[in-house]
Structure 1
Amino acid sequence: MTTEATATTGLSRSLQRLLARTRAFDTRRPRLWDSTLTLFWAAVTLVDASGGWRNTAPDPSVPVWLVVTLSLGLSLPLYRRRRQPLAVLTVMACAALVSAASGAFLQAGYLQMVPVFHIALTRPPRTLLWASALLLPPLLTGAVLFPRGSWDQHVVPTLWAYALVALLGIAVRARKDHTAALVDRARRLEIERDQEVRLAAAAERTRIAREMHDIIGHNLSVITGLADGGRYAAAKNPERAAQALEAIGTTSREALAELRRLLGVLHDDEEAAARDPQPTLADLDALITGVRNAGLPVRFDRGSASPDRPLTPGAQLTVYRVVQEALTNALKHAGEGAKATVLLTHTSEEARAEITNTGPAVPPPPSGQGQGLTGMRERAALYDGTLETGPLPTGGWHVRLRLPREDSPS
């Protein structure tokens, strides 16, 4: 970058900082700013009224008191230019009309551009028509009473000046509206982003709570069953008690490993979190074996299968968790002597899982308690599936899950 370009950039930045400070001062103390500008223009007009006005006046014999009065009438109303620009322009236009009719032709008449700018900046566009009606009489009066050359030489250039000032006000207004729209859009986007973050956090909390319920609830039920069986076996068959203790240790370690994997995804360093695969249908055998060891006899029938069209990993996890939750509930509520059956069937259009037990029909917990049935229904709904639960006519409980395949109609 050349020295000249660097100097231009530095000057531009200095001007921007100066304008920013001026706007900030105006925002903090608008009345003080208005008073300062009004007094400045009043001082300028009074300096002109001290004698300079005669250099351009067609009639230099106008009384000084009238010139001073008209000068103040063209400057002091500027204090209200932002709040009542049309009223200010009306007062100034009257003073300008007297100035033109008397032959003074005060230069302070050009201060009418200030309220014109504010009308274009803050008022509806039709207000500019009223402003034009106020600006024309002084110009026409001066052109008729004190002609200098052709009349349009006095009227047209001044009208063009007013028009350019109005266009400047419209441009500034459009820029302010555009900036305000961008700021509002950024604010709304920030609000939407915060809402999305909160919704994502709530969804993640729900997912983690569901996973923890499935993992901890099932494994604790299995451990409880094993512990009860081991306690009864300790007096009569120490070997069976040792097997129960070993199974408890194995189940506890598996539960702890799954819990660590689940909590690992909450770490800041996602790459370092454990990435063990989620359970699939192939893990059902180990699940059912653990339930059997806990004391609940389970008959497992895979039924018909479609190995060439396996379920997606997510759908397999859903089936696994539903079977796990149903067997966990059977462990908790079915009682002694109960048996369970797990039947899986696959077709070209859907996959079904039916879990039944022969224990007593235990009603679901009241609303707000427990996550089991709610979690199963939420999992099924994610894949457009359905879940049916209820008591059996002959006693016991059933859970029926239906998951349509993703490439088949729901």
Structure 2
Amino acid sequence: MRIRGVAQAREWGAAHPGAVDAGLALLVQAAVTMPFVVPRPPELEPATWPAYGLTTLTVLPLVWRRRAPMAVLLAVLAASALYQLTMDGPGQPLPYQGLVCVHTIAALAPAWQRAVTAGLLLVAVPVSVWLNTRSARELTFSLFVFGAAYVFGRLTDARQRAHLVESERAAARERARIAREMHDILSHAVSLMIVQAEAGPVAVRKAPERAEAAFDAISATGRDAMDQLRRMLGVLRDDDTGGGRSPQPDLGELPALLDRVRAGGLAVRYEPAAGPAALPAALAATVYRIVQEALTNTVRHSGARSATVRIERAAGRLTVLVRDDGRGPATGAGRPAGHGLAGIKERAAAHGGSARVGPGPDGRGFEVLVALPVQDAVEAGR
């Protein structure tokens, strides 16, 4: 819960940088006000309003620290020098304004501005110490705190760059996931519709009742594809507005998928896993898509008359087998098999599993064999 709150705070800060800078300026103002409200020793002059006003003037530029960090640093240094030369006001335990400027330049500014800042500090810090206490202790401490501010600024820059790279990688993974989902949906639906459409004219001449069933199957397949695409587009819209993902297909929808394939003329035998134990939603969706893509390849490429879908679960492992009696995907003569089989392997690897595709037993037919660790998936889904 705390991690989520921190992430939300960072997102809010990234979306409202002006508000963050104003809040930081107010925080620094509160810090520099402390020496003015704490009573001074009797031998010292009381704090005055002009001194406090000039102190506030050293804080005000921090509101623009992101837009012009070098200009803000120069303004802070000038106002601070004016305060030390003209006012006998309270000192500050830390140079808060300068530290904020140095951290900002180290995190956001280009290399030449960082180099200029280092040169300015090597001059300004010794001069400030000479005007104040002229002690080696203060000089050492001042150089240390400014150096620490610079180092933390560079670390902030490195963390932001790493976060940006990770965000780009996450976006690439999401694009690949969406591409796989759309490929599976469209490839499966269009393949079945083509098979039914090609068989339709023959059925009209020889068996009108089968032609009607073929047209019904085309309509049902098209409606199912539209429903899945509509659901996916809804996911994209929800993700854009922070709504989250809608439910993915699971094993309960697998019999309906097999019925649509059977309506296309392929005899499919289904052997589900024994036992009532349910799978995590992400793993169940993966199994559904693997079976869908394997059968799509069978319908499109193999010329098979029958296929078997078998799901077994034992010893912390889920095995998915799709085997047909056809000739397998046509990859010769410069014709690629497409992205389907590669997508199956990617889906299996995403869950820590493996996939093997190739000829069936004794070189007959074609099979897709996927092994997925069930226990790891269950723990990940909790």
Give, in angstroms, the shift of residue 205 of structure 1: 0.3
Give, in angstroms, the shift of residue 166 of structure 1: 3.3
Report the residue type matching 1:373 in the other structure: L
Counterpart position of 2:57: 14
Structure 1 segment 35-54 matched on structure 2, within 5 A: none
Give, in angstroms, the shift of residue 210 of structure 1: 0.9
Which of residues 367, 371, 391 is equivalent to 2:339?
A: 371
Q: Which whole-Å CA distance do the structure 2 matches of 1:386 and 1:243 have between them?
A: 38
Q: Which whole-Å CA distance do the structure 1 matches of 2:373 and 2:335 have between them?
A: 28
> What secondary structure, in the 3-state scheme, does the structure 2 residue paired with 1:311 have?
coil
Report the residue type matching 2:309 in the other structure: V
Counterpart position of 2:373: 404
Assess, with a 3 A threshold, how the Cα gap between structure 1 residues 369 and 9 changes in structure 2: closer, same or farther. farther
Q: Which whole-Å CA distance do the structure 1 matches of 2:245 and 2:125 have between them?
A: 70
Q: Which whole-Å CA distance do the structure 1 matches of 2:263 and 2:141 have between them?
A: 82
Q: Which whole-Å CA distance do the structure 1 matches of 2:195 and 2:132 have between them?
A: 93
Counterpart position of 2:317: 350
Contact 1:117 1:168 in 2 (8 A): no
Report the TM-score when normalising by structure 1. 0.59
Unaligned runs of 5+ in 2: 1-29, 38-47, 79-118, 378-382
Contact 2:302 2:330 in 1 (8 A): no
Counterpart position of 1:153: none
Structure 1 segment 26-65 matched on structure 2, within 5 A: none
Q: Which whole-Å CA distance do the structure 1 matches of 2:206 and 2:61 have between them?
A: 95
Unaligned runs of 5+ in 1: 34-81, 86-113, 122-159
Counterpart position of 2:229: 259
Report the residue type matching 2:281 in the other structure: P
Aligned length: 282
Over residues 101-125 of structure 1, what are the superposed CA-to-partner deviations in whole Å (9 max), with x where a residue is unaligned?
xxxxxxxxxxxxx99937x99xxxx
Q: Which whole-Å CA distance do the structure 2 matches of 1:367 and 1:384 have between them?
A: 30
Report the residue type matching 1:117 in the other structure: P
Report the residue type matching 1:352 in the other structure: T
Which of residues 111, 119, 136 is equivalent to 1:166?
A: 136
Larger Rg: 1
Structure 1 segment 330-349 matched on structure 2, within 5 A: 330-335=298-303, 338-349=305-316
Give, in angstroms, the shift of residue 261 of structure 1: 1.1
Structure 1 segment 267-286 matched on structure 2, within 5 A: 267=237, 268-271=240-243, 275=246, 277-286=247-256
Give, in angstroms, the shift of residue 404 of structure 1: 2.5
Q: Which whole-Å CA distance do the structure 2 matches of 1:116 and 1:186 have between them?
A: 24
Q: Which whole-Å CA distance do the structure 1 matches of 2:171 and 2:262 have between them?
A: 37
Give, in angstroms, the shift of residue 286 of structure 1: 0.7
Q: Which whole-Å CA distance do the structure 2 matches of 1:261 and 1:286 have between them?
A: 17
* Counterpart check, 1:317 vs 2:326: no
Q: Which whole-Å CA distance do the structure 2 matches of 1:25 and 1:334 have between them?
A: 70
Over residues 315-369 of structure 1, what are the superposed CA-to-partner deviations in whole Å (9 max), with x where a residue is unaligned?
222221111111100001112x622111222224322221111111335588997
Over residues 230-268 of structure 1, what are the superposed CA-to-partner deviations in whole Å (9 max), with x where a residue is unaligned?
122122333322222222111111101111111222222
Give, in angstroms, the shift of residue 310 of structure 1: 2.6
Counterpart position of 2:160: 190
Aligned Cα root-mean-square deviation (Å): 4.0
Give, in angstroms, the shift of residue 394 of structure 1: 4.3
> What secondary structure, in the 3-state scheme, does the structure 1 residue paired with 2:338 have?
coil
Structure 1 segment 171-250 matched on structure 2, within 5 A: 171-250=141-220
Q: Which whole-Å CA distance do the structure 1 matches of 2:170 and 2:253 have between them?
A: 30
Assess, with a 3 A threshold, how the Cα gap between structure 1 residues 14 and 232 changes in structure 2: closer, same or farther. same
Over residues 69-93 of structure 1, what are the superposed CA-to-partner deviations in whole Å (9 max), with x where a residue is unaligned?
xxxxxxxxxxxxx89x9xxxxxxxx
Assess, with a 3 A threshold, how the Cα gap between structure 1 residues 217 and 176 changes in structure 2: closer, same or farther. same
- The share of aligned pairs that are identical, in percent, is 35
Counterpart position of 1:135: none
Report the TM-score when normalising by structure 2. 0.63
